[in-house]
Amino acid sequence: MDFELRGKHFLVTGATSGIGLEIARLLRECGADLVLFGRNQERLKALEHELGARTVALDITDEYAITAAFADLPALDGLVNCAGISILDPATRLHAADLDAMMATNLRAATIVAREAANNMLAAGRQGSIVNVSSQAAMVALENHLGYCASKAAMDAMTRVLCLELGPQGIRVNSVNPTVTLTPMAARAWSEPAKRDPMLAAIPLGRFAAPREVAQPVAFLLSSAASMISGTCLPIDGGYTAR
């Protein structure tokens, strides 16, 4: 499906693997020009050739690196904040360093990148769209996910505030909140029946998401087809959070 993205410029963070990579590939299929942020220089180099993308290797938690990268970027039409980490432990064994790491990537870095992307669009006089890749963990309690749930709930709060502040300038801001998404890493992590089957039983559609099923709503929210949608946190969860 073409979401009218031809000639548009989008930044995707966390673009070298998983959901971020699938989003980047779909946006390119829809005609968009891409800037990709990631850590892995080798993968970024490969994506330059595969997608014709401009790439920047950086530590997404380094505010100064982000600010420096934006100084050399073209005018953007949108941002996908997809970089994220998950460290799972029971609440009674949660380490402060792990909580700090999740907040630094899932909230702080996403906020700083959104700040810079918004300033980029405003300076160019462009209206645009920001999509934050959150999680169903922002909406429900999940065992062993205290830090992750908190960081993604904070991302959704950030989405709503940005919607309020940037809306008058024509910049829309939304989150998508996927369930377990079968990237290669997730497919391995959820391969054991004892872990997989209870989660599947709680999803009314009875299956996990494919990466493309997350990428397509992101492309929709970036496009003019979603021109009156802002401030929403969209579950992509097969009905899991409806219970």
Per the residue annotation, which of 8, 45, 64, 148 is the catalytic one?
A: 148
Region 140-159 average pLDDT = 97
For residue 171, give the 3-state DSSP assignment: strand
Give the pLDDT mean for 29-36.
Answer: 96
Catalytic hit among 8, 45, 64, 152: 152
**Helix %, strand %, coil % for the chain, to 5?**
50, 15, 35
Cβ-in-10-Å burial (0-12, 13-18, 19+) of 51 comes to buried
22 vs 19: CA distance, rounded Å: 5
pLDDT value, residue 4: 78
Does the domain formed by 9-179+211-231 have CATH 3.20.20.100?
no
Looking at residue 163, its pLDDT comes to 98
Mean pLDDT of the 36-51 span: 96
Euclidean distance between CA atoms 135 and 172, whole angstroms: 19
Gyration radius from the chain CA atoms: 17
Average pLDDT value over all residues in the chain: 96
Question: What are the backbone dihedrals phi and psi of residue 159, each rounded to the nearest 5 degrees, phi first?
Answer: -55, -45
Nearest to 30 by CA among 234, 182, 227, 212: 212
The mean pLDDT value for 19-23 works out to 97
Q: Give mean pLDDT, residues 169-178.
A: 98
Q: Are 202 and 180 in contact (CB under 8 A)?
A: no
Cα–Cα distance for residue pair 149/136, rounded to 1 Å: 8
Distance CA 166, CA 168 (A): 6
240 catalytic per annotation: no
Q: Using pLDDT thresholds of 50, 70 and 90, give the confidence band for residue 2.
A: low
Is pTM beyond 0.85 here? yes
For residue 37, which amino acid is it? F
Extract the tokens encoding 151: 């960081």
Report the candidate in 23, 15, 90 with the shortest Cα–Cα distance to residue 60.
Answer: 15
* Whether residue 3 has pLDDT greater than 80: no
Q: Is the pLDDT of residue 135 over 70?
A: yes
pLDDT average, residue stretch 197-221:
97
Identify whether the C-beta of residue 78 lies closer than 8 Å to the C-beta of residue 130.
yes
d(CA 153, CA 174): 13
Q: With H, G, I as helix, E, B as strand and everything else as coil, classify residue 30.
A: coil
Orientation of helix 63-70 relative to helix 110-123, angle to 10°: 20
Tell me what pLDDT residue 189 has. 86
What integer is the mean pLDDT of 16-37?
97
Indicate if 148 belongs to the active site: yes
